[in-house]
Amino acid sequence: MTPALAQTSAGKAPAPPSYRHLPANADTVRWGCFSTTLTPRVEIDSAGIVTIETLPHPAADDLERMVQGDEGAESVYLWTTDRKGVDRRGAGSTDPAVCKVGSADGRGVHILTGPVHGWGAKPGDVLELRILDCVPRPGANPDFAGKSFGSNAASWWGCHYNDMPGGAKREVITIYRVDATGDKSRAKAVCNFRWGPQTDPFRVTRPTIDYPGGPIDHALTDFTFNVLKGIRIPIRPHFGTLGVAPAEADFVDSVPPSHTRGNVDKWPIGKGAIMYSPVSVEGALVSVGDPHASQGDSELCGTAIECSLAGTFQSILHKKADLAGTPLQEMDRPMLETRVEWVVHGFSGPNHLGALGATAQADIYGKPSVDDAMRDAFAKMRRFLMTTKGLTEDDAHSPMSVGVDFGITPVADGNWGVHAIVPCHRAMPS
Amino acid sequence: MTPALAQTSAGKAPAPPSYRHLPANADTVRWGCFSTTLTPRVEIDSAGIVTIETLPHPAADDLERMVQGDEGAESVYLWTTDRKGVDRRGAGSTDPAVCKVGSADGRGVHILTGPVHGWGAKPGDVLELRILDCVPRPGANPDFAGKSFGSNAASWWGCHYNDMPGGAKREVITIYRVDATGDKSRAKAVCNFRWGPQTDPFRVTRPTIDYPGGPIDHALTDFTFNVLKGIRIPIRPHFGTLGVAPAEADFVDSVPPSHTRGNVDKWPIGKGAIMYSPVSVEGALVSVGDPHASQGDSELCGTAIECSLAGTFQSILHKKADLAGTPLQEMDRPMLETRVEWVVHGFSGPNHLGALGATAQADIYGKPSVDDAMRDAFAKMRRFLMTTKGLTEDDAHSPMSVGVDFGITPVADGNWGVHAIVPCHRAMPS
């Protein structure tokens, strides 16, 4: 500790920030939705730090490597003929005829930890959430000490699915090994297998992947080892889903991202990143999940390397009354800041919950478009440049063309995304 | 020269590679097209090195800073009531009713230097073109010694044009100053002005920007200085247009990129980059132009910082007979390699010249779609991974989702683009 930090003007050491730890288990997670109706799992004061554990939704693809020995994960993935560890509100059938219109029933898939209530947040404030750390959680099975594992599905909701050479559609799951000691920054494939119809413990048979949490029947599945030889994937631990609860509906499907962030699936949302979100409800109700060891921009085939992570968060709250005249004054959308760039997110439906009415949560799946997301991203970046740099709209167009990069965020989440990147150490500061 | 390079086994110094210099002037450039009918401006042997000067097509936006004193540029931009320095085949009206269907007449806008004939290239070979250097050319006006200048137009063909706040459409040109000494890597705006109807020396009045090369009438134009205060654009010198001549038509509009590359408008195509292109005609007929001091991925508003550059190139030719079993065996599309990544380019129309028939060059402007370009990019990346790493198609899907980034290339060039990036120091090598 430096002398400057060791003493206050009164000669007393300042109180350290409070610290809380939120494990991932059947009492702290739920499946597939943000909701204002949930009881907060932890309360954080204005300067508090919290470590949150997260679990990947497809861990049952390899219970031996991804669940076994981890008491919290075992409590979540428990599923026998007469009992499920966690009731799965948001992970039922994806058939629109079965889903309850206007709710998240049957659609969301992610395991989300939380919600966290705190920071004195009120609707209209802006929550600046800093990710102090983000690391793979080692598995608890002693057979794989020091390793973490993740699952990737090339699935029916992937962008590739309707463009298979030869036309035969199938889903393939790949299990990856991830070093959890921090020494190596590569993931390697362990094996893969083709999804065949799987019958869950409640005796429901599922021809395609539509309901995470069901264990793979090893007797009916052919595993291929020694796959993806010579290919190492650089790991980029990050949270695919991280957001505050939207006020627009009681239960909000976790899959499509929106103005309160949620499932943005952007790989820089890891250690060192800062997430800005408009607060929609009292206490913000932050939830975290969909942990990824790595993904590429687009998450093309439907999922990332879905792998358990632990994240440590601190927040700075920007009160509504103090926003005028600051770059946050029009923060009605999520924004990401890293050490070297600002990232503004555009979507096919910028606020589908608000714009599409009672059937928004079903309708958004019918409007996937990179073109629409591109238009939203550039309109938001234009406003960002106008607000933060005091530019006219005409002045803002030129820097967007010559100094802002546009990339593709998710094309697998119903609400497709394009992000606009402006280098904050280069183009922006005076 | 190191001892190892100084002597051959016979004790003789190897002959240095031949070197040629191709300046940019009225004899070495043309407007707006690739063409198999052009007489080569320089011949390069198999190991030869060539430096090629390039000029930006909108230099007449600021003749004082971008042309004056540069004898070559003055010869190109010469335009009086009875004489043009370079006849402008590819830069006439953009009205489809006026354009000659099936040709490049009236559409292409770039000033292209070349073609370069050489390397013993034949149709079916793959040309690996290495950019040894790429630097801004200093202006020749002593009033601005050591500086180079570029022009950026937020134009009617930009992605933003139909989404103006308030709806009033207008075009704005911004002039940037670029350091040409290499000491500074930032561009700063000098001034901007709104495009008003401009009457060219042949007394044709143009309400919008549709015909580069016409000088701005200063008496009728309001220039605003001290614009974009506090904004510095990181420079990324690169060639927006660089390609071989396609065999599909006699004259090919330079604006839409295609399988022979052309106007890909991707900013890493600068110093250190390597471009792979399928050779379509005898001698390859490489042309270079559309020099950019900087642009962002998407070139959103229609143009980059269009600024004169000089590039130095060397080539390795891969003969058709030697391609089988190598990563280049199916190289029917352009690919870019940088020090850290491979970039595979997808387009709305992957080979519009071949696919769209006699009216291809007009029709491609009616099909701009990021969604279509995304599909093309992922299909090409899948094939790239299958070819270079010996993967099955199912094995190739997973790395695309977890280790390949997809970004937006140009959305202002008729044939829109998405590029797929795979890190070659990380995911790919074994």
Calpha distance A316→A333 (Å, rounded) = 17
B298 within domain boundaries? yes
Domain boundary among A179, A200, A233: A233
* B231:A378 CB<8 A: no
CA atoms within 13 A on the CB side of A27: 5
> How many folded domains does chain B comprise?
2
Tokens 């073609």 belong to B115
Q: What is the DSSP letter of B143?
A: G
> Looking at residue A230, what is its pLDDT?
87
133-172 of B, contacting A, C-beta below 8 A: 152, 154, 158-160, 163-165, 170, 172
Q: How far apart are CA B121 and CA B260, in angstroms?
A: 14
Q: Which residue from A minimizes the CA distance to B167?
A: A393
Helix/strand number for chain A, H first, E second? 7, 27
| Inter-chain touch A300–B397, beta carbons under 8 Å | yes
Neighbours of A115 (CB within 10 A): 27
- Measure the CA–CA gap between A257 and A418, rounded to whole angstroms: 12
Q: Give the Cα separation of B411 and B401 in Å (integer).
A: 24
Cα–Cα distance measured from residue B249 to residue B363, given in angstroms and rounded to the nearest whole number: 15
Residue from the list A296, A370, A427 with its beta carbon closest to the beta carbon of B231? A427
Report the C-alpha gap between B63 and B220 in whole angstroms.
Answer: 16
Q: Does B126 touch chain A (CB under 8 A)?
A: no
Cβ pair A401:B192 closer than 8 A:
no
For chain B, how many residues are written? 430
- Residues B241, B352 within the same domain: yes
| Interchain pair A378, B159: CB under 8 A | yes
Contact present, B294 and B234 (Cβ < 8 Å)? yes
Residue A393 reports pLDDT greater than 70: yes
- Cβ pair A374, B411 in contact under 8 A: yes
Q: Which residue has the tokens 């010469």?
A: B78
Distances (CA, A) of B83 to A343, B68, B214: 49, 18, 12
DSSP assignment, residue B320? G
Distance CA A248, CA A199 (A): 36
Q: What is the pLDDT of residue A218?
A: 87
φ, ψ at B342 (rounded to 5°): -105, 140
Does residue A108 have a pLDDT over 60?
Answer: yes
DSSP secondary structure letter of residue B228: S
Which DSSP string corresponds to B16-74?
A: PPPEEEE--STTTEEESEEETTSPPSEEE-TT-EEEEEE--TTGGGGHHHHTTT-HHHH
State the pLDDT at residue A164: 86
Residues B130 and B151 occupy one common structural domain: no
Return the axis-axis angle of helices A370-389 and B370-389, rounded to nearest 10°: 110
Q: Do B398 and A172 touch (CB under 8 A)?
A: yes
8 Å CB contact of A404 and B300: yes
- Partner A, chain B 223-242, Cβ-Cβ below 8 Å: 227-234
Question: Pick from B200, B233, B266: which residue ends a domain?
Answer: B233
The reported pLDDT for the residue numbered B90 is 76
Number of C-beta neighbours around residue B80 at 10 A: 9
Of A174, A297, A301, the CB nearest to B407: A297
Going from the first residue of chain B to its last (430 residues), give the mean pLDDT of each consecutive group of 10, the final group possibly shorter.
Answer: 43 85 97 93 94 97 97 97 87 59 70 96 96 95 94 93 86 93 87 94 90 89 93 94 93 90 92 95 97 95 96 96 88 90 93 85 86 94 91 91 93 91 58
- Does the beta-carbon distance from A187 to B402 stay under 8 Å? yes
For residue A285, being part of any structural domain is answered with yes
The CATH number of the domain where B323 resides is what? 2.60.120.580
Residue A428 has pLDDT above 80, yes or no: no
- Do B106 and B148 lie in one domain? The reply is no
A417: contact with B, CB 8 A cutoff: no
Contact B238, B265 (CB under 8 A): no
- Indicate if B161 and B40 belong to the same structural domain: no
Structural domain containing residue A36: 19-136+234-423
pLDDT digit string (tens) for A167-207?
789 999 999 999 877 777 899 999 999 999 999 999 989 89
What's the pTM value of the predicted model, to 2 decimals? Answer: 0.90
CA of A412: which chain B residue's CA is closest?
A: B401
CA distance linking residue B222 with residue B220, whole number of Å: 7
Task: Answer yes or no: do B132 and B163 share one domain.
Answer: no
Going by the DSSP 8-state scheme, the letter that residue A410 receives in this structure is: B
* A8 inside domain: no
Instruction: Select, from the ranges A58-67, A155-164, B333-342, the one with the highest average predicted confidence (pLDDT).
Output: A58-67
In a domain, residue A270? The reply is yes
- Provide, as residue numbers in chain A, all residues whose Cβ is less than 8 Å from the Cβ of B186: 426
How far is the C-alpha of B405 from the C-alpha of B383, rounded, in Å?
16
**B424 close contact with A: CB closer than 8 A:** no
The shortest C-alpha distance from A9 to chain B (Å) reads 37
Asked if pLDDT for residue A362 goes beyond 50, the answer is yes
Q: Are residues A403 and A333 in the same domain?
A: yes
Count of positions (residues) in chain A: 430
Same domain, A198 and A279: no
- Are both B174 and B252 inside the same structural domain? no
Query: Which residue on chain B is closest to A395 by alpha carbon?
Result: B228
Of A195, A214, A233, the residue at which a domain comes to its end is A233
Strand partners, A288: A113, A242
Query: B49-54 and B19-22: which strand pairing?
Result: parallel
In this structure, is residue B13 part of a structural domain?
A: no
Query: pLDDT by residue (tens digit) across A63-74?
Result: 999 999 999 999
Please say if the pLDDT value at position A106 is more than 80.
Answer: no
pLDDT value of residue B428: 36
> What part of B 369-408 touches A (C-beta under 8 Å)?
369-371, 374-375, 378-379, 382, 389, 391, 393-395, 397-408
Residues of A with Cβ-Cβ distance to B294 under 8 angstroms? 402-403
Is B408 in contact with A407 (Cβ distance < 8 A)?
yes
Of B296, B371, B389, the CB nearest to A400: B296
Dist. CA B310–CA B138, nearest whole Å: 10
- Within a domain: A430: no
Long-range Cβ contacts of A93-96 (<8 Å, 24+ apart):
A93/A210, A93/A211, A94/A210, A96/A362, A96/A365
B357-389 burial code (b ≥16 CB/10 A, e <16): eeebbbbbbebbbbbbbbbbbbbbbbbbbbbbb
Say yes or no: B418 and B341 in one domain.
yes
Q: How confident is the model at residue A430 (pLDDT cuts 50, 70, 90)?
A: very low
Same domain, B294 and B335: yes
Is the domain of A36 the same as that of A125?
yes
Q: Best mutation site among B157, B188, B228, B300 for testing chain A: the one with the most A CBs within 10 Å?
A: B300
B247 or A95, greater pLDDT: B247
- Taking an 8 Å cut-off on Cβ atoms, the answer to whether A402 and B187 are in contact is yes
CB A401 to CB B375 under 8 A? Answer: no
Please indicate whether, in this complex, the C-beta atoms of B164 and A395 are within 8 angstroms of each other: no
Q: Is the pLDDT of residue A1 over 60?
A: no
Query: Using CA atoms, how far apart are residues B268 and B225, in angstroms rounded to an integer?
Result: 31
- Distance in angstroms (rounded) separating the CA atoms of residues B302 and B171: 10
Residue A355 contacts B where some CB pair is shorter than 8 Å: no
* A176 and chain B in contact, CB less than 8 A: yes
Asked if residue B429 is part of any domain, the answer here is no
B283 and B372 in a single domain? The answer is yes
In-domain check, residue B166:
yes
